[in-house]
Structure 1
Amino acid sequence: MDDRQENLQKVTKKLVVFTTVILVLIFGYLILLSLLCPWDSCAGHEKPIVLPFVFTSGLVGGFVSIQQRLPQIAADELRVLSRSWVSITLIPINGGIFSVVLMLIFISGILQGQLFPQYEPRPLNSLTDVYDWIKHGIPKTSTDLAKLFFWSFVAGFSERFVPQVIRTAAGKAQGNTAKDD
């Protein structure tokens, strides 16, 4: 086996191990929640399940993205990747973080349209309301939830997507500020 193939296998193994550990932790958390308080008997204590799934969708998107790019990576860079857990795990972790940021962008209404999930506005008058918002931060319909998961995957898969949305929104905000002056 040549050096390139060996490095490809090392990187792939590390990615699979990392992603598996994260998925086990997230789903273990959800299982633990359901054991501590079954879904139908938690009077007033609904579980915040959307956020872990959004993060997971972004994480998996980042995993798929790096897996697809591995064959095109130069031998020197592949060698570095094969020796570093941080370099390998950074892309999927960024994907998970970007997916959560994208969810906030959707909730805020900064990015709207037929292709994006819709949310009901919720009044926030106290810290308890914020906690309730986190617990109930679910899109309007099941179709909107599917859109959220799809775009969460895209946020992880296309690492430039969310930063571009942020830059575009910031540019529009700066343009509006200039018009107000």
Structure 2
Amino acid sequence: MDLNETKMMLVISRRLIIFAILSLVLTTILFALSFVFQQRLMLSWLVFECGIIGGFVSIQQRLKYIDIEEMQLLSQSWFSILMIPVYGGIFALVLYILFLAGLVQGHLFPAFYVPEFDTPPTTQNVVAFLTTTYPAQGADIAKLIFWSFVAGFSERFVPQIINDVTKRDTK
């Protein structure tokens, strides 16, 4: 690796660290406010943040293996660096929805307490769903955090699950 590549890698790494720290600070503030005001913890924020962190770790690990053109793009553009972690957060939220919908289930995945809906469903049912749906046990919270990180870390993980679910449902 030549001096120019090393400089670009350092610029990218610094930017990744800055964004990761800002993201963690923002999430810490949101969690602190929920505890201080004794409000329910917004799991969607936690899921999104874990996906973002997974994306940051993924980029950092791949830096040694990317070609010079991509490294130049990443070192010159803040937006390019943010794209992968933000996609990781979005993929983590999609995976969360797949868990809640029961489309991804099993011992390795989190189980959730989901309130019953009336027939026909009411607005209160939707409000209850949005405010009282939580992982069933402590281990399920840990599983949710883990899989959210994986969704951000592995770019192909959630798209592959979506592909598998759509194939399964069309058979």
Q: Secondary structure at the match of 2:40?
A: coil
| Offset, 1:131 | 3.1
Aligned partners of 1:48 and 1:135 also within 8 Å = no
Match of 1:147 among 143, 150, 153: 143
- TM-score (norm: length of structure 2): 0.90
Aligned partners of 2:112 and 2:135 also within 8 Å = yes
Aligned length: 167
Check if 1:74 corresponds to 2:67.
Answer: yes
Which shows bigger deviation, 67-76 or 124-133?
Answer: 124-133
| Offset, 1:53 | 1.2
Match of 2:156 in 1: 160
Over the matched positions of the two proteins, sequence identity in percent amounts to 38
| Offset, 1:51 | 1.6
| Offset, 1:6 | 0.5
Check if 1:116 corresponds to 2:103.
Answer: no
Partners of 1:57 and 1:152 in 2: CA distance: 5
Q: Render the CA deviation track for 1:136-165: whole Å, top value 9, x for unaligned.
A: 231111111111111111101111000000
Check if 1:136 corresponds to 2:137.
Answer: no
Which shows bigger deviation, 115-124 or 99-108?
Answer: 115-124
Gapped regions of structure 1 (runs ≥ 5):
40-45, 176-181
Using a 3 Å threshold, how does the CA distance of structure 1 residues 15 and 128 change in structure 2: closer, same or farther? farther
Q: Please give the root-mean-square deviation of Cα atoms over the aligned residues, in Å.
A: 1.6
Which shows bigger deviation, 150-159 or 112-121?
Answer: 112-121
| Offset, 1:58 | 0.9
Aligned partners of 2:95 and 2:148 also within 8 Å = yes
Q: Render the CA deviation track for 1:48-107: whole Å, top value 9, x for unaligned.
A: 432211111111111111100000011121011101111111111111111111111111
> Residues 4-43 of structure 1 correspond to what in structure 2 (within 5 A)?
4-35=5-36, 37=37, 39=38
Match of 1:2 in 2: 3
Q: Render the CA deviation track for 1:6-25: whole Å, top value 9, x for unaligned.
A: 00011111111112112211
Using a 3 Å threshold, how does the CA distance of structure 1 residues 123 and 112 change in structure 2: closer, same or farther? same
Gapped regions of structure 2 (runs ≥ 5):
none
Q: Secondary structure at the match of 1:47?
A: coil
Check if 1:172 corresponds to 2:131.
Answer: no
> Residues 79-90 of structure 1 correspond to what in structure 2 (within 5 A)?
79-90=72-83
Partners of 1:64 and 1:136 in 2: CA distance: 32
Partners of 1:121 and 1:34 in 2: CA distance: 23
Partners of 2:24 and 2:59 in 1: CA distance: 17
